[in-house]
Amino acid sequence: KNEVEQSPQNLTAQEGEFITINCSYSVGISALHWLQQHPGGGIVSLFMLSSGKKKHGRLIATINIQEKHSSLHITASHPRDSAVYICAVFMNRDDKIIFGKGTRLHILP
């Protein structure tokens, strides 16, 4: 079993839909990051979470430390949100970083 599991692997939705991507982990962490990778390959950090909830524009990220689970939500999705979304956890025992396999999101106009 992978230490970081993301779901779904692939997601296709219509423009305007509410999107949820999930990340579960099994190790002790100091922080969790959500990353966005566009088709061209560039990676952008969206959120860093150690507790609670953060919001930036149409993006919301939450984390539940007790349940070892995080979600990334996109409201009013748009075709430009089409990308791969990756969660990454920073392990608190040795500062290593483990990535989920990513969720490929495709928003249809």
Partner 1 sequence: DSGVTQTPKHLITATGQRVTLRCSPRSGDLSVYWYQQSLDQGLQFLIQYYNGEERAKGNILERFSAQQFPDLHSELNLSSLELGDSALYFCASSPFSGGGETQYFGPGTRLLVL
48 binds partner 1 (CB under 8 A): yes
Q: Are 107 and 14 in contact (CB under 8 A)?
A: yes
57 binds partner 1 (CB under 8 A): no
Number of chain residues interacting with partner 1 (CB under 8 A): 27
CA neighbor of 81 nearest in space, from 30, 33, 15 = 15
95 binds partner 1 (CB under 8 A): yes
33 binds partner 1 (CB under 8 A): yes
At residue 67, what is the residue type?
E
39 binds partner 1 (CB under 8 A): no
CA neighbor of 32 nearest in space, from 97, 81, 94 = 97
By DSSP bridging, strand 10-14 and strand 29-37 are unpaired
The footprint of partner 1 (CB under 8 A) covers 29-33, 35, 41-45, 48, 50, 86, 88-90, 92, 94-102
